[in-house]
A and B are shown apart, each in its own frame.
Chain A
């Protein structure tokens, strides 16, 4: 079983739609959680950290459920520029390197 699992997609949505991505992680010792965005042939870029209380950054909302080991990302009012691969990333306690999910591809269509 992969440490971080994501639905690979692709998710094809129209502009303005709301879309949600889910992610599960297997290691209960994980202590930090992030969503990264990766454009084609580019490096990943931090989108937002994810906290147990849930957090929002503009059109993006992230949620963490530690009991279920589940992380979500909600994108409201999708823009064409949101088209990318979204990577769920966790950091285990005592380990400095990040563990990446394989990503969920989003394609926003006009």
Chain B
């Protein structure tokens, strides 16, 4: 099946620093990628939709200047958490849709990145 990778798988950083998370589709092209966040014992919440070659679409309540998204190619989207604070500590998961059109609504998820801000 389709594979999506994320890097890093976990990161610990100090408050005030910025952290970049990469999401790659390894064997298919993805014009659209999604970034979700999951706090402990809660559901995945969509943060933003990343569109190749254009600006990301952010969900209500998600600060676009804090969570910078770049989707420069059909296989890579990055999420940068700027000036991270302890409340940003969470499990960040990306997903990608196959742009070939052969799949219906199937999204392929990356393994997630666990961010801990001290």
Question: Which A residues contact B (CB, under 8 angstroms)?
Answer: 4, 32, 34, 41-46, 87, 91, 96-103
A102 and chain B: residue at smallest CB distance: B43
The smallest C-beta distance from B86 to any residue of chain A, in angstroms, reads 19
Q: What DSSP secondary structure best describes chain B's contact surface?
A: strand
**In the complex, how many residues of chain B place their beta carbon closer than 8 angstroms to a beta carbon of chain A?**
22
**How would residues 21 to 50 of chain B score, 1 for a CB under 8 Å from any chain A CB and 0 otherwise?**
000000000001010100000111110010
Report the Cα distance A76→B42, complex, angstroms. Answer: 26
Across the interface, A45 reaches (CB within 8 A) one of B36, B97, B109, namely B109
The smallest C-beta distance from B54 to any residue of chain A, in angstroms, reads 14
Are B111 and A46 interface neighbours, CB within 8 A?
A: no
Question: Which B residues contact A (CB, under 8 angstroms)?
Answer: 32, 34, 36, 42-46, 49, 91, 93, 95, 97, 104-107, 109-112, 114
A-B interface, 5 closest residue pairs, ranked by CB to CB distance from nearest: A102-B43, A43-B109, A100-B44, A32-B105, A100-B43
Are B42 and A32 interface neighbours, CB within 8 A?
A: no
Are B111 and A43 interface neighbours, CB within 8 A?
A: yes
Task: Knowing A32-B105, A96-B32, A96-B49 are in contact, say whether A44-B91 is a contact too (CB < 8 A).
Answer: no
Across the interface, A44 reaches (CB within 8 A) one of B32, B104, B109, namely B109
Report the Cα distance A101→B107, complex, angstroms. Answer: 16
Are A97 and B106 interface neighbours, CB within 8 A?
A: no
Report the Cα distance A32→B43, complex, angstroms. Answer: 18
Chain B residues in 8 Å Cβ range of A98? 34, 46, 95, 105, 107
Report the Cα distance A97→B44, complex, angstroms. Answer: 11
| Subset of 11 A-B contacts with CB under 8 Å | A32-B105, A41-B112, A42-B111, A42-B112, A45-B109, A96-B34, A97-B46, A97-B49, A98-B95, A98-B105, A100-B36
Report the Cα distance A24→B67, complex, angstroms. Answer: 31
B93 and chain A: residue at smallest CB distance: A43
